[in-house]
Amino acid sequence: MTAAARGTIGAMNQPVRDLSRPTTPCSAVQARMAEETAARAATAGPAAALSEGAGAEADLRAELADLVDSLAPELVALSHDLHTHPEVGHAEHHAVAAVAELLRTHGIDSEAGVYGMDTALRAEIGAAEDAPAHPGVPTMAILAEYDALPGVGHGCGHNVMCANSVGAFLALAELQRRRPGALPGRVILQTTPAEESDTAKEILAQRGMLDGVDAAIQTHAYAHDLADQTWLGVRRMSAVYTGIPSHASSQPFMGRNALDAATLALTGLGLLRQQILPMDRVHAVVDDGGRSPT
Ligand SMILES: [Zn+2]
């Protein structure tokens, strides 16, 4: 954009708008979702919460909540540690070591590099049945992701979410230690690399991560409370446009502009959005558009 186009404009009796700043996006949709969630929460009543007869005994739940509170300093430290050491997908080596070390200080062994993925870590507590499929033993997997975005760091809070999952696992482990038999099954902590950049969970699942697992849970940060969420799968692809270099002012006709091709593709994606399903998302970025316009 030229300097002239970037300047401020104004007209008589019109507020001057600073074009150097983007306009603030409308937040009406978020506001409506928050209102809907608040309305559901207000009408949900006690029936929506766990009744006293469901799940674990009340005193067990209270003890678990106390254990989570007592773990808080270590969990916050883990979260801050990951935040200050952001690592992109499949490079989460600091994170793997940090999680393994925290587990170790609580007397829990873990294994890194499971299912052929260097930064996937797994630990297990609870009934250690020998049978491979653990028949009759309920098994829950707590998933944890800890990758960050290139150039951004921890944009959507995977550092917090990892600490949440590790904290839940450690609290259950401590409960089991204090009250042998309190845990009526197995609990697996499984870290899942590369959520931001890849489909590592899918690959790990194909390789057996969820075999014998009855339920898998994790938390994910969001901008506000949600009553429900439409979950999206993901497919990623990259395209390389190859051009022919030429001098842009003296012999432009001798060149083929790869950036122009990428621009057309982006424009096409934008037009395609009108016809795709409402919950489909498609987005792209040009990560290398050349170094010089000449
Ligand atoms: Zn995320």
Q: How far is the CA of 223 from the centre of ligand 1 (A)?
A: 12
Q: How far is the CA of 156 from the centre of ligand 1 (A)?
A: 5
How much is the pLDDT for 2?
41
Residues 210 and 85 in one domain: yes
149 located within any domain: yes
Q: How far is the CA of 154 from the centre of ligand 1 (A)?
A: 9
Buried b (16+ CB within 10 A) or exposed e, 256-265: ebbeeebeee
Q: How far is the CA of 158 from the centre of ligand 1 (A)?
A: 6
Determine what percent of the chain is predicted with pLDDT higher than 90. Answer: 61
Task: Give the pair of three-digit tokens for residue 41.
Answer: 């929460």
Type of residue numbered 180: P
Confidence band of 3 (pLDDT split at 50, 70, 90): very low
- Average per-residue pLDDT in the chain? 87
Residues 67 and 171 in one domain: yes
Residue 284 has pLDDT above 60, yes or no: yes
83 located within any domain: yes
Q: How far is the CA of 249 from the centre of ligand 1 (A)?
A: 45
Of residues 13 and 197, the one with the higher pLDDT is 197
Q: DSSP labels for 172-229? A: HHHHHHHSTT-S-SEEEEEE---TTTS-HHHHHHHTTTTTT-SEEE-----SS--S--
Of 154, 186, 217, which closes a domain?
217
Q: How far is the CA of 160 from the centre of ligand 1 (A)?
A: 11
The pTM assigned to this predicted structure is 0.77
User: pLDDT tens, 174-203?
Assistant: 999 998 888 888 999 999 999 888 889 999
* 187 neighbors 126 (Cβ within 8 angstroms): yes
How much is the pLDDT for 258?
95
- Distance from first CA to last CA of the chain, Å, rounded? 16
Residue 170 has pLDDT above 90, yes or no: yes
Task: Give the pair of three-digit tokens for residue 151.
Answer: 């150039």
Of residues 21 and 143, the one with the higher pLDDT is 143
Q: How far is the CA of 111 from the centre of ligand 1 (A)?
A: 23
Residues 268 and 135 in one domain: no
What CATH number is attached to the domain comprising 95?
A: 3.40.630.10
Residue 9 has pLDDT above 50, yes or no: no
Residues 158 and 60 in one domain: yes
Residues 158 and 262 in one domain: no
How much is the pLDDT for 75?
98
Which own/partner pairs from 125-132 qualify as long-range (CB within 8 Å, at least 24 positions apart)? 125/169, 125/172, 125/173, 125/176, 125/183, 125/186, 125/187, 126/172, 126/176, 126/183, 126/185, 126/186, 126/187, 127/183, 127/184, 127/185, 127/186, 128/186, 129/186, 132/212
Residues 190 and 260 in one domain: no
- Give residue 106's domain range: 56-217
How much is the pLDDT for 233?
81
Q: How far is the CA of 197 from the centre of ligand 1 (A)?
A: 10
Mean pLDDT, to the nearest integer, of 139-163? 95
How much is the pLDDT for 39?
85
Of residues 236 and 192, the one with the higher pLDDT is 192
> Based on the structure, what is the number of domains in the chain?
2
Residues 243 and 284 in one domain: yes
